[in-house]
Structure 1
Amino acid sequence: MTTTATALYDVPGPKARVRHRGYGIAGVVAILALVVWIVYLLDDTGQFEGEKWRPFQYEGIQELLLEGLGNTLKAFGLAAVLSLALGGVLASGRLSEFRPVRWLATLFVEFFRAMPVLVMIFFVFVALEVQPLPALVTGLTLYNGSVLAEVFRTGINAVDRGQREAAYSLGLRKTQVMTYVLVPQGVRAMLPAIISQLVVALKDTSLGFLITFEEFLQAGKLIATDLDYGLPFIPVVLVISPIYIGLCMLLSWVANWVAKRERRSVKTRAAKVAEAGPSTVLSGPGAT
């Protein structure tokens, strides 16, 4: 074991390892017991009866769920793209050298970060009389764009100050410094927070059912409250929940893939520069 690892905590001895193993086994047993108890309760109330699961065999029900899932992905796609764009604009405003622009962007960000998403969705839908999909996307965009603006601003400010000063010393303008130096380095630090916020946006699309938007949760609600199908609430939850979880996991996987690809790209560029050697790097037009 390395010195770095042992400096963070005391290495457990034989008795401590046995005790920790016992804690682990007890925790696993407790979790399994909880799962068994939940399954027993569901079975005792008839949630696994074939009658409650039969609706999912009907083509009309499958089409309803697929249409709701498609509407959810459409709302999420629009909200994600617009939120990223709005976040970039607001972050640029907050980093601006012009005080009025900076104050205006700060006021916008702080206001919409403090507003509940549901209030904004209802305001756009009821007060402005906007259709359900635009109302949902607008509410999600205003909130998530404001949060992402802070993520972008923090990520850019986290880049070492020396990088900024070195770029300015080479004669680059502020836009060039932001585009070629700060943003590429900051994105790698921002990526986990960006994906986390996009996952929030994906889950918040379920608020659309409150304004009659026919998204995935709305489709499940229509099935779960249908007397003709015996009110299959639990089966609907057991079908819909894994799909939401799977979408969030897929989004996280894509983010990790992009991050690994970016790290490999950076290492490849660094290796090419190293192989080129100082003479090649300095042999450009400005070399002396």
Structure 2
Amino acid sequence: MQDINDWNEPYSYQTNPLRDFITSENTEKVIQKLRSQIDWSSGNYQPLILSIAQVGDIIPDTRTFLSFNPLVQSVVLIADMIINTGKNKQINIAKLTLDNAPTLEYQIELFRWLYHSENENPKPDCFSSEERKELGEYLGNKVFSEIENIDITSEKPDLVSRIFWILSEYADKNRLNGYVKLLVSSDPATVYRILNDYVPTFTSLTNGTTGKEGFDEATYKSLSKIIDISILFESIEQSHPDLIVNLNEYPTLKSRDEDRELIIPQQFIWLYRKDFSRNIFYTILELDNFNRPYIKNVEKFRI
């Protein structure tokens, strides 16, 4: 711990004291030991914050249902140190930490766990909504610069929903839609990768295994808030017209893995058409109400 406290600017990775002894196997014990040795009255946590952030690519994201994984433990520790730093230094240290984190996954996970005023029971001296927006924009610009020349759905398929959330919520939603259009025009299989990442992952309570089920209405609504979903529908329409068939009912998976690349897009199409029909109905209804001051028995026409 003393070696880390004595570590000085420019905080080079080559001289990072954690680099020599932290491994993917001992990460959890190391993080716990570091937390136990912190002097929470010092107010000077920058060397430790940056030393942990720089080895973020070593820290495993072994997600479990009942406990925090080492990656989350590490970003929570960083978040605890940042909030205990002087208020006037928090934004700069948070940005510096994002700059030192080596992977998109670690950057986004850190941002998610930073304490802010919209948390339930927010902590004193947490980031205000304006400060969180500033950090989100800062991270969003970093993310765009890193992904604009690659297909993130192919290279980091498990990060798609998290990256899209950052870009849509804090950066530039129109630019994100442009990026999605470029991806699907280059590789129609991108549509499935996007849809599949938005399907929630579940963990079995009996054996701890993880898996995915189908693309349901809640998932559809979540995705539709992030990107223009007509981009995905039009891509399927152009590249896989055989999937655009009249379905009498919502398609179901016979098993969690069987025919996913066929059924998941069909589930999306079914939900898209249902949503489209509903929107057309209410648009017509609004126009009718505008032209006629009174309409009887409207309820029987509702979907």
TM-score (norm 1): 0.23
Q: Which has the higher helix share?
A: 1
TM-score (norm 2): 0.23
Larger radius of gyration: 1
